Amino acid sequence: MENLERAEAWGQASSGMAYVFRPSTPSGLQAVFELARDTGVPIGLRGAGRSYGDAAMNSERILVDLERMNRILAWDPASGIVEVEPGVTIEQLWRYVLGDGWWPPVVPGTMFPTVGGCLAMNVHGKNNWREGTFGKHVLEFEALLPTGEYVVCTPERDPELFHAMIGGLGVLGCFTRIKLQLKRVHSGQLDVLALSIPNMDAMLEDMESLRDDWEYLVGWVDCFAGGRGVGRGQIHAANHLDNLADPSPTQSLRLDHQDLPDTFFGLVPKSILWRFLKPFANNLGWKLVCLARYLMAKRGHGHRFKQSLAEFNFLLDYVPHWKRAYWPLGLIQYQCFVPKAEASEAFVQILRLCQARGLPSYLGVTKRHRPDDFLLSHAVDGYSLALDFRVTRRNRQRLLALAHDLDEIVLAHSGRFYFAKDSTLAPESAVGYLGAESIQSLFALKARLDPDNLLQTDLWRRVFEPLSIREKFHNRAESQTLHSPS
Amino acid sequence: MTATEADHQNALLSRPKALLIGASSGIGAALARRLAAEGFDLALVARRMPELEALCGELSQAHGIRALAYAHDVQDTAAAPSLLESIARDLEGLDLFVYVAGVMFPHDPDAYDTENDLLTLKVNTLGAIAWCNPVTLRFVRAGQGQIVGLGSIAGDRGRRAIPAYSASKAALETYLEALRNRVTRSGVTVTTIKAGQVDTDMLKNAAAVRGPVSAERAADMIWRAIRLRKQVVYIPGRWALIGWVVRHIPSFIFRRLNL
């Protein structure tokens, strides 16, 4: 009772109460696992709580917040191999290694998630088609299983477990030690190109032609644009500078060069910028903001400039507390991944349906991806479209119905989904994209590693628990028919 | 566009959750029906399980909500915190807590029955405190929630026919007032219902019946008080005036009245 706290989805559209524990050492973590085994109350794992939906929530049960297990255990500046505890944040990591000329090979759009969380969700960056997901760069990890055992995994030694626990939503075990290979950088600057894009076809075509010469690609979509301009927006492409291109690499690799400016136009403190966004956070106001942004993008077409690594990669941190513009009921994000041949058609259908329902997305982002070997993989050889939706008191039901209809479009185009963002996916849709076989392997692993089903999250109970119950029921029915005397 | 049951499992569309103590009959059962009609998921607590289960079946059928039954005797105050934990887990949260459990023994001018009097205080007051404390802790941590306690106009003055009942309700009302003052900064609402005569089984034990309202009418008025986040509400409303008069009758007159 004393540990009862409120835990929110990062998008703030849902929240719940949980019994929160914050161990600072592996033995502390073991003690919480023991408590769960003794009481039978399930445990959920939470890093920085940066998943948009319910992935890091475990309402009315035990929630282990891993942010205090945040030590960097070993660092070798010669090889770029770092060993960290799961609560180390991406920010902590890059600040620690940048001075030695290294950078995490894959970073999400914000620097605040923990490494453990990035691994449980197997996050990607703006270079997914080149570098793969975060898990691709893990050399080895150690994890505590709900039974109290430790396992050490490498991609070679135990590929099945390695590819299931990474992206395993934190329901198979808790990472306690993670060894990562970082990427060599010669400059703290990126060479950035900005292009304005008239529609979705052009967006994906341009990304396709840019991807050979550029290491990072990200597209912004004006989701309000209709007619022939559906999918219009802007592409930012970026490359690391090579050995010679940065005249003063020792300068640009210093941390103070990376710090994001704390004022906007040198005048408005950025910490209060969200207050200026708030009045526009409605369908008309945001349409104007998007239009203005598109016109600015048009003026800046072909503009080439230098940006610091942090500024380019952590775009979402540019306006601090931006989610407060969605106050009081928050936002949800809907992200889908569609193979390249059908992506444009699917994305146009999606954007048009949102507009037709009167539920335009306030922020649309496209990225390029490639498939990978992880069990619960979200990536395809194609593109993703991420959409932010404002939640209001009156639109909840329509929003959920819209999300289900978007799922149909995505599944019809052999698309996939991503649990770090998800708040709406139905169990059937999860089977639809992961396939019954993957789900069965997941359940088999879960039964082996966590026989008492002690590791759970709200997401697990929403999407996977119903499938697991159905499967058990199905199995029992089958074995009964097999054994029934005929 | 109608939302399916699976949609209501989604936190985005989840229904509000209410816990009622003393829900098997009378005002409690009527309020359960009213809250079910308003789309609440319910946890109903009482001693009599068969009645509770029948009510839960009826409500989940009629309104498509989740209604769960728990057997519990409010005299078992030590059991309240852990039962609250498991109820919150089963309901997946809690937004509204209502304590309507109460007893009133028939008036007997010659009896001074300690056992009955203590039981009255245990059920009406001590049980309420045992539940309100852990519920309040939860609501304060959540920064939201509403607590509703059922007081009585009998709590306004010491009534000759029902000393223990008067005292139990007066104590409960004072406790609720203090609780309200204590949590008002944390976004938690505490509502005291001061009921006049309501047509329930308890009324059979009343010394005199003066124009009672039906349990359904009482439930409507309690729901209104919940919706408007009222602090103190008399039901029926006209009793607010009567209550004011009763509170201000000087003792040298009051003790000679047949109230």
Delineate the domains of chain A, giving CATH numbers in brackets.
72-184 (3.30.465.10), 189-431 (3.40.462)
Which residue in this structure is represented by tokens 């007081």?
B151
Determine the Cα–Cα distance for residues B130 and B77; give it in Å rounded to an integer: 6
Identity of the residue in A60, A400, A426 whose CB atom sits nearest the CB atom of B89 = A60
Q: Report helix, strand or coil for A274.
A: helix
A457 contacts in chain B (CB < 8 Å):
none
Report yes or no: B93 at the A interface, CB cutoff 8 Å.
Answer: yes
Best probe of the A interface among B2, B9, B10, B12, by most A CBs < 10 A, is B12
Partners of A217 in the β-ladder: A237
Compute how many other C-beta atoms are within 10 angstroms of the C-beta atom of residue A275. Answer: 12
Active-site pick, B99, B165, B175, B234: B165
pLDDT (0 to 100) of residue A206: 97
Residue B8's pLDDT is what?
A: 66
Report CB contact under 8 Å: B11, A5.
Answer: no
In Å, how far from its chain's centre is CA A251?
31
- Dihedral over Cα of B225, B226, B229, B234: its sign: positive
Token output for A352: 């048009």
Where would I find the beta strands (DSSP E) of A124-279? 138-144, 150-153, 174-181, 183-184, 189-197, 216-221, 233-240, 263-264, 268-269
Contact A365, A385 (CB under 8 A): yes
- Using the structure block, give the residue that is written with the tokens 């299931």: A164
Size of interface A-B (CB pairs under 8 A): 64
- B245 and chain A in contact, CB less than 8 A: no
Closest-CA residue to A162 (of A139, A130, A131, A182): A139
Predicted confidence at residue A247, as pLDDT, reads: 82
Cα–Cα dist A65/A48, whole Å? 8
Q: How far apart are CA A204 and CA A409, in angstroms?
A: 18
**pLDDT for the residue numbered B3:** 60
Kindly list the strands in the beta sheet with B96-99, ordered across the sheet, starting from the edge strand earlier in the chain.
B67-71, B41-46, B17-21, B96-99, B146-152, B189-195, B232-235
Which residue in the set A1, A14, A426 is minimally distant from B11, CB to CB?
A14
Nearest CA in chain B to A16: B93
Report the residue of chain A nearest B141, measured CA to CA: A5
Q: Which of A341, A339, A342, A363 is nearest to A351 (CA)?
A: A363
At A39, the amino acid letter reads: T
* Contact call for A400 and B11, based on CB within 8 A: no
Contact A17 B138 (CB under 8 A): yes
- Select from A41, A396, A426 the Cβ nearest to the Cβ of B12: A396
DSSP string of B188-226? Answer: -EEEEEEE--EESGGGGG-S---SPEEHHHHHHHHHHHH
Closest to A419 in 3D by CA, of A4, A22, A51: A51
**For B143, which of A6, A399, A401 is closest by C-beta distance?**
A6
Q: In b/e form, how buried is each residue of A81-105, taking b as 16+ CB within 10 angstroms?
A: bbbbbbbbbbbbbbebbbeebbbbb
Tell me how far apart the alpha carbons of residues B225 and B231 are, in angstroms, rounded to a whole number. 8
- Give the gap in angstroms from C-alpha B88 to the nearest C-alpha of chain A: 6
**Nearest residue in chain A measured CA to CA from B9:** A462
Residue A141, CB-side half-sphere exposure with 13 Å CA sphere: 28
Q: Which residues of B touch A427 (CB under 8 A)?
A: 6
Would you call B165 a catalytic residue per the annotation?
Answer: yes
Q: Which positions in chain A touch B85 (Cβ < 8 Å)?
A: 1, 60
Closest-CA residue to A403 (of A462, A344, A316): A462
Angle, alpha carbons B259-B164-B81 (nearest 5°): 135
d(CA B231, CA B15): 24
The answer to whether the Cβ–Cβ distance between B10 and A391 falls below 8 Å is no
Q: Nearest-5° angle of CA A452, CA B69, CA B81?
A: 70
Q: Distance between CA B136 and CA B83 in Å, rounded? A: 15
d(CA B23, CA B31): 8
Query: What DSSP assignment string belongs to B90-114?
Result: HHT---EEEE-----PPP-TT---H
Q: Where are the alpha helices (DSSP H) in A278-424?
A: 283-299, 309-313, 340-356, 396-412
Could you count the other beta carbons within 10 Å of the beta carbon of residue A305?
11
Q: Cα separation of A423 and A430, whole Å?
A: 12
H or E stretch at A102? strand A102-103
CA distance A351 to A128: 23
Q: Which of residues 175-234 of B touch A (CB under 8 A)?
A: none
3-state secondary structure A317-330: HCCCCHHHHHCCCC
Instruction: Judge whether A449 and A153 are in contact, CB under 8 Å.
Output: no
pLDDT digit string, tens, across residues B44-101? 999 999 999 999 999 999 999 999 999 999 999 999 999 999 999 999 999 999 999 9
Q: Using CA atoms, how far apart are residues B6 and A222, in angstroms rounded to an integer?
A: 32
Contact B89/A at CB under 8 A: yes
Distance (Å) from the alpha carbon of B37 to chain A's nearest alpha carbon: 19
Question: What is the nearest CA distance from B6 to chain A, expressed in angstroms?
Answer: 8
Mutate to test the interface with B, among A10, A54, A397 (most CBs of B within 10 A): A397
Return the exposure string of A151-179: e unless at least 16 CB atoms fall within 10 Å of the residue's CB, then b.
bebeeeeeeebbbbbbbbbbbbbbbbbbb
Do the beta carbons of residue A423 and residue B11 sit within 8 Å? yes
Specify whether the CB–CB gap between A214 and A239 falls below 8 A: yes
Chain A contact present for B137, CB below 8 A: yes
Q: Which two tokens stand for residue A264?
A: 């906007």
- Cα separation of B216 and B28, whole Å? 10
pLDDT at A245: 81
Q: What is the nearest CA distance from B41 to chain A, expressed in angstroms?
A: 16
The rounded distance, in Å, linking the Cα atoms of A378 and A417 is 5
Nearest to B12 among A1, A16, A400 (CB): A400
* Phi-psi map region of A266: left, alpha, beta (phi>0 left; psi -120 to 50 alpha): left
**Cβ(A135)–Cβ(A167) below 8 Å:** yes
What pLDDT score was predicted for residue A260?
A: 78
Question: Among A457, A325, A397, which Cα is nearest to A12's?
Answer: A325
Interface test with A, best of B1, B2, B4, B10 (most A CBs within 10 A): B10
Structure tokens that stand for B259 in this block: 């109230």
DSSP helix/strand/coil, A2: coil
* C-alpha–C-alpha distance, residues A149 and A159, integer Å: 19
Nearest to B88 among A60, A396, A401 (CB): A60
Residues of chain B with pLDDT under 70: 1-9
Q: Using an 8 Å CB-CB cutoff, list chain B residues near A400.
A: 3, 7, 10, 12-13
Nearest CA among A168, A69, A95, A84 for reference residue A314? A95
* CA separation for the pair B66, B39 (Å, rounded): 9
Q: Could you give the 3-state DSSP secondary structure of residue A240?
A: strand
Q: Prior bond to B236 cis, omega within 30?
A: yes
Query: What is the distance in angstroms between the Cα of B53 and the nearest Cα belonging to chain A?
Result: 24
The torsion angles phi and psi of B205, rounded to 5 degrees, stand at -90, 0
**Gap between the Cα atoms of A305 and A322, Å rounded:** 25
Under an 8 A CB cutoff, do A14 and B12 touch?
A: yes
Give pLDDT tens digits along chain A (486 positions): 679 999 999 999 999 999 999 999 999 999 999 999 999 999 999 999 999 999 999 999 999 999 999 999 999 999 999 999 999 999 999 999 999 999 999 999 999 999 999 999 999 999 999 999 999 999 999 999 999 999 999 999 999 999 999 999 999 999 999 999 999 999 999 999 999 999 999 999 999 999 999 999 999 999 999 999 999 999 999 999 987 788 888 888 999 888 877 887 778 888 888 998 999 999 999 999 999 999 999 999 999 999 999 999 998 998 889 999 998 899 999 999 999 999 999 999 999 999 999 999 999 999 999 999 999 999 999 999 999 999 998 999 999 999 999 999 999 999 999 999 999 999 999 999 999 999 999 999 999 999 999 999 999 999 999 998 887 777 766 665 555 443
Of A60, A400, A401, the CB nearest to B93: A60
